[in-house]
A = this chain, B = another copy of it.
Amino acid sequence: MARLTLAEVRDIAERVLLKHGFSDLQAKAVAETMVCGERDECRSHGIYRLLVCIATLSAGKVNPTAVPVVYSQAPGIVRVDADGGFSQLAFQSGLEALKQKAASNGIAALVINNCIHFSALWVEIEALTDMGLVALACNPSHAWVAPAGGRGPVFGTNPIAFGWPRKDKDPFVFDFATSAVARGEIELHRRAGKPIPLGWGVSPEGEPTTSAQHALDGAMLTFGGHKGSALAAMIELIAGPLIGDLTSAESLAHDDGAGASPYHGELIIAFDPKRFLGDQVDYHFERAERLFADIEGQGARLPSARRYEARARSLLNGVEVSDDLYADIQALI
């Protein structure tokens, strides 16, 4: 087990990306998400992702020197063409315009087009809550998930994330896939030869299954039955055709068996509390604190609690990376 400081994580990630031809700006933006992933113990977005990034690059499915271009699509819409790069730099490029449009109009949308999936949505959401904005974000992925009552993959794992800024406190943030679990979780069960719980997937014949292999061959399921399925459809629509970008089925077709990361768009909606509430903003945000107190006061946890605890640990002690993963990454430098 290797123990690394967050500065070391950042350094390794940037070196690998630069070595493989990513531009300086792209490398910095992508590496920062991995630092956040390791820091918050969301390993699937940590430096493990370097392997995925380089595989996606090798498959010719990402532009390592992409230069995002920002457009004002409408008074309430910022559009960023990610130029076939990963999503982070595109997001950062559009952030200031989104803030200004939200401040002008009260509500505004940031549309990211033509980007390669590497959305750690909670990282983007926190960039917005840091600006005092309330924010919602979502995107399609690859079509792996069946609709409620169906058996064939139509939806992606389609994450949705939300953030609410809190005075002198970590923001209220959630970020979850609308699939019952992450695809990686089913992969891990398959490798370990373990059955999966009912409700994670269906066989190619559409039958409920506890076989990880059958679920991978068939389709994953959404969380929450027909309600989760409806949300997954909404995400396909508003972060797909509404923004002129691919659905999860189209993304998988575009991949054409290369096994690269999804190619898609992303929709982010920002609400400026000052425009909704004027000089009453502090009063009403104090009322929101009572909601959080009512949740925590009965021993329930806020959705972001685990991440913030991990963050405190990592900032103090650094992070642990398995020897296998560390060796795989060293081999890329």
Contacts and interface: CB of A to CB of B under 8 A. Distances in A.
A280 interface: yes
B134 A238 contact: yes
A137 B226 CA distance: 18
Given A224-B227, A242-B271, A75 B73 contact: no
Interface stretch (A30-38, A87-95, A106-114, A316-324): A106-114
A326 interface: no
Contacts of A249: 290-291, 294
A176 B228 CA distance: 10
Nearest to A77: B106
Contacts of A243: 276-277
A267 to B, nearest CB: 9
Contacts of A227: 174, 176, 178, 223-224, 228
Interface string A57-89: 000000000000000011111000000000000
Interface in A217-259: 223-230, 233-234, 236-238, 240-244, 247, 249-250
Given A234-B162, A295-B150, A299-B149, A276 B134 contact: no
A29 B56 CA distance: 55
A21 interface: no
A186 to B, nearest CB: 17
A147 B136 CA distance: 20
Contacts of A9: none
B75 A105 contact: yes
B241 A284 contact: yes
A275 B73 contact: yes
A200 interface: no
A104 B76 CA distance: 8
Contacts of A244: 276-277, 280, 284
Interface string A131-169: 000101000000000111111101000000010100000
Contacts of A237: 134, 164, 172, 288, 291
Given A75-B75, A147-B300, 15 more contacts: A74-B106, A75-B76, A76-B104, A76-B106, A77-B276, A109-B276, A164-B237, A223-B227, A224-B225, A224-B228, A238-B271, A242-B273, A247-B288, A247-B291, A250-B287
